[in-house]
Amino acid sequence: MPARSAGETIHQWVFRGLRRAIMSGAFPPGQAVTIRGLAEAMEVSAMPVREALRRLVAERALTLLDNRRVRVPQMTPERFEELYAARTALEVEAASRALPLVDAARLEKLRAIDQTINAAILSGDSETVVAQNFLFHLTLYSARRDSVLVPLIESVWLQTGPFMRAALEAFPTAADGYDYHLAALDAIAAGDEAALRQAIAHDIRTGIGHLALSGKLIAVAA
């Protein structure tokens, strides 16, 4: 769980923590969790957990089973295809719009995140890979302050994060092995918008998009 920020209420902290946990795949698709169990794990009362789960159900990150349990939805090929298409369309555009605003400090931060991802891949730490991958993309897109695309992108990430981790653990060598984050960094350094758009599209495709094309999605979603 993330540390509680100064001025952050318990309700805000619980929601932020659960949202991040879902996005990074801490809860596998189909796994049910209870309000009581989460409250005990986070050492809080049931009330902020119940409110956070209600908001996450509204964001389609969770499915309500009854008044005490929720679960991460199962993935279907049809749902996956829509989410994959949404990620590609939104993120390519967000990267393009952010490019002119990425300064040297942000570029170095992106390089550091990519190094963390590479180290996590080598150690087999799939949770860190997923979480840091989202951080890489968010750090890039948020160069454009108050971007209307970032909240939409995060909504899609909430629905793909659990599946991304499951897919990564099931098929750790399924991608082509090329670091498209590195290609994106080179494009940013060169101010090459076309190359950046291509790198982001390829990164999403090799991240999970190839599973639909290869037929492996069904094995992961089952």
Domain boundaries, the chain: 10-71, 77-221
Alpha-carbon gap, residue 164 to 159, rounded angstroms: 9
Reading the chain (222 residues) residue by residue, the pLDDT tens digits are 677 777 889 999 999 999 988 988 888 888 888 999 999 999 999 999 999 999 999 998 999 998 789 998 887 888 888 988 999 999 999 999 999 999 999 999 999 999 999 999 889 888 888 889 999 999 999 999 989 999 999 999 998 888 777 767 665 554 455 689 999 999 999 999 999 999 999 998 887 655 554 455 544 444
Best CA proximity match to 179, nearest among 116, 107, 122, 114: 114
Count of residues making up the chain:
222
By C-alpha distance, which of 26, 23, 25 is closest to 38?
A: 26
List, in sequence order, every residue forming a beta bridge with 34; answer none if it has no partner.
69
C-alpha 80, offset from chain centre: 14
Q: Topology of domain 10-71, per CATH?
A: Arc Repressor Mutant, subunit A (1.10.10)
Check: pTM over 0.85? Answer yes or no. Answer: no
Q: Which CATH number fits domain 77-221: 1.10.1740.10, 3.40.50.620, 1.20.120.530, 1.10.580.10?
A: 1.20.120.530
Distance CA 118, CA 132 (A): 10
Could you tell me the sign of the dihedral formed by the alpha carbons of 23, 118, 107, 194, in that order?
A: negative
Q: Starting at the edge strand that comes first in sequence, how are the strands of the sheet with 32-34 ordered?
A: 32-34, 69-71, 63-64
